[in-house]
């Protein structure tokens, strides 16, 4: 997890996923989940970022 924030009434969690880099990709997926406890909703934003690989 990259970031967890409490922004009442929301919880925001940012997760960086590197599974693709294990298969040789130079990109990682970043997901940002926002959970709104007041309205009982969730949203997800996904972006791809370039990752520096030191093994090449």
Instruction: Tell me the pLDDT tens digit for each residue of 3-15.
Output: 999 999 999 999 9
Is 9 within 8 Å of 38 (Cβ atoms)?
yes
Read off the pLDDT of each residue in 36-48 and give the average, rounded to a whole number: 96
Strands 27-36, 41-50: parallel, antiparallel or unpaired by DSSP? Answer: antiparallel
CB of 27 closer than 8 Å to CB of 18: no
Length of the chain counted residue by residue: 56
DSSP letter at 22 equals H
Q: With contact defined as beta carbons under 8 Å apart, do 34 and 10 qualify?
A: yes
Q: Which residue has the higher pLDDT, 27 or 40?
A: 40
| Residue ranges of domains in the chain | 3-50
């Amino acid at each position: 997890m990259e970031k967890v924030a409490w922004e009442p009434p929301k919880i925001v969690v940012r997760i960086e996923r590197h599974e693709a880099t294990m298969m040789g990709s130079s990109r990682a997926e970043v997901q940002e989940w926002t959970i709104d406890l007041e309205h009982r909703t969730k949203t997800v934003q996904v972006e791809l970022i370039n990752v520096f690989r030191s093994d090449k």
